């Protein structure tokens, strides 16, 4: 993997919207392709890093956000362009490996967060977990690469996930503060830049603890936000 003009690279390491446009006839979770126009606006406003087009950081960032889109919205892993579907595995904080089919069944949030004081993946479905965090971060829970530490085949990189806690998290009222998670991932890729495995390392308890600091409420009802 090396920096070059993006037009020379596969579309799954180019723009996420290009992948969506090329996947119009795929099997979508909500029947139609997702619209990231609002998310893109917030990323432009709030991103701390501007990676040059075709740079290693830009390639890794585009690959991972394409994967996140496909994992969230495409229900047939064989239609995911970003992964080697039959080999793909994802591991979080040294836990068990999960297949693409596992992600389709239960969702990335459930596989990332597991069981803790402030979240129970066993109590949530794919849709309910997505709704919880869409409600907590109505302007999006955004993601970007900070730096790439090593190149392929085992691409190691540092990233940040952030969003404004302006909606309720379960029974906890919003604080209006920016919640940020910083982590490190190892992305094993094929020669044509498809993901064979992803290993994520980040502090899940700190992330959930920040959401559980809002004042608890029980009688107030918030308007649901459709994922």
The CATH number of the domain holding residue 131 is 3.10.450.50
Question: pLDDT value at position 218?
Answer: 47
Q: How far apart are CA 134 and CA 129, in angstroms?
A: 9
Question: pLDDT value at position 133?
Answer: 95
Residue pair 60/145 in contact (Cβ under 8 Å)? The answer is yes
The reply to whether 146 falls in a domain is: yes
The reply to whether 88 falls in a domain is: yes
The reply to whether 120 falls in a domain is: yes
The reply to whether 227 falls in a domain is: no
Instruction: Please determine, for residue 132, whether its predicted confidence score (pLDDT) is greater than 80.
Output: yes
pLDDT in tens, 56-115: 999 999 999 999 999 999 999 999 999 999 999 999 999 999 999 999 999 999 999 999
Question: pLDDT value at position 227?
Answer: 38
DSSP-assigned states of every residue in 113-129: H-B-SS-BGGG--HHHH
The reply to whether 56 falls in a domain is: yes
Mean pLDDT confidence for 150-169: 95
Q: Could you give the maximum distance between any two Cα atoms of the chain, in Å?
A: 55
Q: How far apart are CA 61 and CA 51, in angstroms?
A: 9
Going by pLDDT thresholds of 50, 70 and 90, the confidence category of residue 7 is low
The reply to whether 217 falls in a domain is: no
- Split into its structural domains, the chain has a count of 1
Residue-range definition of the domain harbouring residue 179: 6-211
pLDDT above 70 covers a percentage of the chain that reads: 91
The reply to whether 191 falls in a domain is: yes
3-state secondary structure of 63: helix
Q: How far apart are CA 132 and CA 123, in angstroms?
A: 12
Q: How far apart are CA 182 and CA 76, in angstroms?
A: 30
pLDDT in tens, 179-209: 999 999 999 999 999 999 999 999 988 899 9
pTM of the model: 0.88
Of 223, 189, 201, nearest to 63 by C-alpha is 189
Question: pLDDT value at position 83?
Answer: 97
Question: pLDDT value at position 221?
Answer: 41
């Amino acid at each position: 993997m090396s920096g070059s003009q993006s037009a020379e690279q596969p579309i799954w390491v180019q723009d996420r919207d290009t992948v969506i446009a090329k996947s119009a006839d795929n099997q979508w979770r909500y029947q139609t392709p997702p619209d990231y126009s609002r998310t893109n606006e917030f990323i432009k406003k709030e991103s701390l890093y501007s990676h040059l087009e075709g740079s290693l950081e830009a390639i890794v960032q585009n690959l991972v956000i394409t994967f996140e889109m496909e994992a969230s919205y495409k229900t047939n892993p064989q239609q995911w362009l970003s992964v080697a579907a039959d080999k793909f595995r994802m591991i979080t904080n040294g836990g068990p490996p999960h297949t693409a089919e596992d992600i389709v069944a239960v969702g990335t949030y459930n596989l990332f967060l597991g069981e803790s004081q402030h979240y129970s993946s066993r109590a949530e479905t794919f849709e309910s977990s997505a709704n919880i965090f869409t409600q907590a971060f109505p302007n999006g829970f955004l993601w970007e690469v900070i730096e790439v530490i090593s190149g392929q085949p085992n691409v190691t990189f540092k990233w940040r996930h952030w969003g404004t806690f302006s909606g309720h998290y379960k029974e906890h009222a919003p604080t209006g503060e920016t919640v940020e998670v910083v982590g490190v991932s190892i992305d094993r890729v094929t020669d044509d830049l498809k993901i064979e495995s992803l290993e994520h390392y980040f502090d899940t308890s700190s992330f959930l603890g920040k959401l559980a600091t809002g004042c608890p409420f029980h009688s107030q009802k918030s308007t649901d936000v459709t994922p």
